[in-house]
Amino acid sequence: MDREYLEGTPGAVWLRDYERDNRGVDPAEYKKAYLAIPTNIGNHPLSGNTTVLWPGLTREFQLKALEMMAAMEKPPYYDLIGPCHPWRPCGVYETMLKNVAPYTCRGVLWYQGESDDAHPEIYDTVLENLISNWRSLWHDELPFLMTQLAPFGAWLDCNGDKYPIVRERQERAARTIPGVWLASSSDAGMEWDIHPKHKRPIGERLALLALGHVYGFNIPCDAPELREARWADGKLTLSFAYGDGLQVRGERVNALTVDGIPVSGVIKDNTLVITMPEKPRWVELAQSGYYEVNLYNAAGLPAKPFSAEVK
């Protein structure tokens, strides 16, 4: 995104982080050191680090790789996101996007957020500014179809402990920014891979969102999202928006907890009902670690993760 859409906003923290980390760095020296690392030269799609293209790495392989990386002698600036790094703030925008836009485009499929866990609480604010930036650049109110971050257990030295915050902010963005919708990936992750290989379900769900919200087809296209958690007479009832045809694929509901204790429930009139003799305080679905949500609506779309106080 353009720097002006970060400055003077909560997203300016990314600029401050970059300036702090690069204080005293000589750009020429950094460029020389950066280009000396073979994996940093991405002129060929199969050069450098291609792990995201592989079927997936076992956890044992990852742990061994972490040991090797910790023991190796690293060249200068090895870990620094500096003046040549594609992840530097505004770098991709300045060198790529700004130079080719606007071109004919119907909308945007947005699947991103893994590297935002340093400041997860501002994800929705930064995303809203990015969308404003792109819509201004294209002179068009481009629709944005987002994919919620997929679950995983661990990948190299990352465990995604801040991802529940990012997911919540992604859902908030879809609720509050006009022309933005969110696809759920809550059943399509991989336990030991931050880059899940199950792409077809995600593509199909984004296509449904496009057909329903952009092209105007009258079809169910949104994943179930919790509307209310209410307790009465020994029953905790969870009701959902887009919950028509609510169903559990399996013997019990996965990744559902009440006050931190795993529970299940039964489907009744498109609600999920859990027997609770005493009123609980909190109910959550798929909030941390690796999970496979198996609560679907009639369109075959898995429920979005949630965390809610019981009324």
Provide mean pLDDT across the span 196-221: 96
* pTM for this model (two decimals): 0.92
Tell me: pLDDT of 87 over 60. Answer: yes
Provide mean pLDDT across the span 195-199: 89
Percent residues over pLDDT 90 in the chain? 85
Query: Domain boundaries in the chain?
Result: 38-74+101-214, 225-309
Tell me: pLDDT of 88 over 60. Answer: yes
Give the fold, CATH level 3, of 38-74+101-214.
Answer: Rossmann fold (3.40.50)
Task: Supply the pLDDT for residue 259.
Answer: 97
Query: What confidence tens digit (pLDDT) does each residue in 219-256 have?
Result: 999 999 999 999 999 999 999 999 999 999 999 999 99
Categorize the per-residue pLDDT at 42 as very low, low, confident or very high, splitting at 50, 70 and 90: low
Query: What confidence tens digit (pLDDT) does each residue in 102-112 have?
Result: 999 999 999 99
| Contacts of residue 187, Cβ cutoff 8 Å, sequence gap at least 6 | 201, 292, 293, 294, 302
Categorize the per-residue pLDDT at 73 as very low, low, confident or very high, splitting at 50, 70 and 90: confident
Task: Supply the pLDDT for residue 79.
Answer: 87
Distance of alpha carbon 11 from alpha carbon 8, whole angstroms: 8
Distance of alpha carbon 136 from alpha carbon 134, whole angstroms: 5
Tokens matching residue 189: 């992750």
Query: Across-strand partners of 295?
Result: 248
